[in-house]
Amino acid sequence: MEDVQKSELKKMLPLWLQEHGYPLKRSFRCLNPQHEDRHPSMCYFEQTQTVHCFSCGATYDIFHLVGMEEQISEFPKQLKRTLERYGTQTAQREKESSSYMVQKENTSKQEEKVIDFIQQHQHNQPKELLDWFAQRGIPEEMVKQSNIFLHEGRAIFPIGSQGQWVSWCGRALQDTIIPRYRNSAGKMGIWGIEQIFETHSQPVAVCEGILDAMSLQLCGCKAVALCGASNVGRLMEEVQKLSGKLPPFLLAGDNDEAGQRMCNQLQQWIEEQGGQCIWLSLPDGCKDVNEAWVEKRQQLQKAVELAKQQLSFLMEPKESSYQQQSMAAMAGDFLEYVDRCKEMGLLSSGLQPLDGLLGGGIFPGLYVLGAPSSLGKTTLLLQIADEIAAAGRDVLFFSLEMSRWELLAKSLCRIAAPEMPLSARGLLQGEIPRQQLESLLEAYNQRCGSRIFISAEHSALTPAMLVEKVHQHQRQRGQAPVVVVDYLQILAPSEPRSSDKQNIDRAVVALKALSRDLEIPVLVASSFNRDSYSRTASMEAFKESGAVEYAADVLLALQMSAMEEKDFDMNREKAADPRKVDLVLLKNRNGIPYGKVPLLYYGAANRFVPVELTPQPIRRIGRKK
């Protein structure tokens, strides 16, 4: 066997590692059968085409690994078996290598055309071009440093790699110039790619457009531009050239489907490589970074700083000394938490008396609303969710019983004019004119529809799946939503062999942890035990629902106002419209421990309204004169 062929076979080591599920860019457990490696200590080295363990000192090439796998100890047999398994791949590599040389020659000619074009026009930077960039918040100095020039009505952005121009991207200054974008032929490079190779510790933002990347650079953040959301693979090729640890990435795609798809692809790939990344949360109403830089600069800068802090936290070593867990060491974290709470503020429920009992509104924590069946739990939570969304906060509503269309019909009935009462059933059956329905939809969407996300689950939803969906929403939208779960007892058991009470306990603990970890309100509907249907609301009604009584920060209950009357009839009271109900505060961990809010429940209109109470005169007790 010639040495050349041995050398080619050694290059098959990455293929063997990938076939067996071992990463190329980070450590993995030692392959030495005599070494019980509890912490990954073996790495792949491209230069020597070997794997080496820093703990036991073992070093293997592909011949050793094939031999260990197939229990072959003699080297000639290892060599023969490796050739049988990977000989065709080496031949293919040689074939690809020859075609690569032809391709490289063609690529060089194309790059020569790019270089000639840029050198010929790069000094054409008239006032028209500089004014166009100034309108987008990009200063003249930055335009000149980036060698941007004007050609046939387009701003031409040269793109370099390893010290030479490889491509260019053109964008029309006026809408009348068609097509709007025109790029150089061949592969499109990554604008600003050198910044990735300059650092392994500072965050690097990844944008779609060059204007977005320039805006983030003005925010003090290193940034690259893909020159199109579909150019993700090109970035991956460039990043794979890095030696050592990947830098942390700030994913700053446009606020549309293509941008979200780009960020999802990058996040999945970066995490597979053992890197860290986080999505940049754009200010409300901004479609991309440059628009945010022009219209909401301070909000964008705050979002960038917050993302940097989160990335810094993710990059910190996980093993810290026990002393760092003391309250003295966490003083700074506490102050940051207070600042976040202050910035977040309280969320109004839309029911002023309830906000008053809660100390001003809804704050992060676990809220549980209990009631007998068919008393309006879903309607009340949906009404509160609409109010929160109307105030500008995302709401993720998990409906485990009703479809999203039934919930939407309830919301549309609520916003209809009082003189034109509608029922959700009548609306779904087409009893109102199409034009009126479209106007209701438009009014709802303008008020809160773009902030309400209803997850109507048709399959079993476990607490773990619910938590993952919330994190997925946070990644895609850039903010953690307020979560509503309707309702607790329908969540699928996390452990089918456990009792109902044990599974509900686990669900409550998971929801409580979710509210604490993401610092969000989590609102959950819960049914009463049957013994409490005909009694006034109390904590006893939740006893069979697991840990609700202990884990909830706020415990609320709905009951009929006439519950304590002697001739009380539940069916008669339910048939009334409006119904007189009380929203009872049974527990409030951080405020008034007990209270009651009288409400009128208009069942057909799916609306709860606070009762306007007339102040009663105070009867004074004293001596008669």
- Encode pLDDT of 167-217 as tens digits: 999 999 998 888 888 888 888 889 988 877 765 678 999 999 999 999 999
Which two three-digit tokens encode residue 366? 């676990």
Segment-wise mean pLDDT, segments of 10 residues, the chain, 625 residues: 71 84 80 81 84 85 89 87 76 50 56 87 92 95 92 93 86 89 86 76 90 93 87 84 78 89 88 86 90 92 87 66 69 81 85 92 93 88 95 92 90 78 83 88 92 79 85 85 90 75 84 90 87 75 72 91 71 78 91 90 89 48 42
The alpha carbon of 424 is separated from its chain's Cα centroid by a whole number of angstroms, namely: 33
Is-contact 125 204, C-beta < 8 A?
A: no
Which two three-digit tokens encode residue 57? 């000192």
Is-contact 488 389, C-beta < 8 A?
A: no
Torsion angle of the four alpha carbons 587, 590, 593, 594, in this order, in degrees rounded to the nearest 10: -70
Helix, strand, coil: what percent of the chain each, to 5? 45, 20, 35
Is-contact 292 259, C-beta < 8 A?
A: no
Give the model's pLDDT for residue 619: 38
Give the model's pLDDT for residue 190: 92
What's the CA angle centered on 345, arms 342 and 346, to 5 degrees? 140
CATH architecture of 354-402+461-610: 3-Layer(aba) Sandwich (3.40)
Distance CA 546, CA 506 (A): 8
> HEC string of 210-254?
HHHHHHHHHCCCEEEECCCHHHHHHHHHHHCCCCCCCCCEEEECC
> HEC string of 506-553?
HHHHHHHHHHHHHCCEEEEEEECCHHHCCCCCCHHHHHHHCCHHHHCC
The alpha carbon of 116 is separated from its chain's Cα centroid by a whole number of angstroms, namely: 44
CATH architecture of 198-316: 3-Layer(aba) Sandwich (3.40)
Which two three-digit tokens encode residue 39? 């912490």
Cα separation values, 175 from 120, 154, 258, 433, Å: 26, 11, 22, 40
Give the model's pLDDT for residue 89: 59
Name the residue ranges covered by the structural domains of the chain. 3-93, 122-189, 198-316, 354-402+461-610
Q: Render the burial of 141-174: b for 16+ CB within 10 Å, e for the rest.
A: eebeebbbbbbeebbbbbbbeeeebbbbbbbbbe
Cα separation values, 315 from 201, 202, 554, 609, Å: 9, 10, 35, 49
Give the model's pLDDT for residue 614: 39
Is-contact 366 354, C-beta < 8 A?
A: no
The torsion angles phi and psi of 611, rounded to 5 degrees, stand at -75, 130
Q: How many Cβ atoms are within 10 Å of 280's Cβ, its own excluded? A: 25
How many helices (H) and strands (E) in the chain?
A: 22, 20
Among candidate residues 373, 429, 409, 357, the one with its CA nearest the CA of residue 596? 357
Distance CA 353, CA 324 (A): 43
**What amino acid is encoded at 170 in this protein?**
G
Is-contact 205 213, C-beta < 8 A?
A: yes
Give the model's pLDDT for residue 314: 75
Question: Does the model's pTM come out above 0.75?
Answer: no
Query: Cis peptide leading into 578, omega within 30 of 0?
Result: yes
Cα separation values, 190 from 168, 240, 285, 413, Å: 10, 14, 28, 51
CATH superfamily of 122-189: DNA primase, catalytic core, N-terminal domain (3.90.980.10)
Each residue's pLDDT tens digit, 285-307: 899 999 999 999 988 998 898 88
Give the model's pLDDT for residue 103: 47
Distance CA 169, CA 337 (A): 43
Paired sense of beta strands 482-486 and 521-527, if any:
parallel
Q: How many Cβ atoms are within 10 Å of 417's Cβ, its own excluded? A: 8
- Which of 2.30.110.10, 3.40.50.2300, 3.40.50.720, 3.90.580.10 is the CATH number of 3-93? 3.90.580.10
Contacts with 387 (C-beta within 8 Å, 6 or more apart), sequence order? 348, 349, 350, 448
Distance CA 95, CA 223 (A): 38
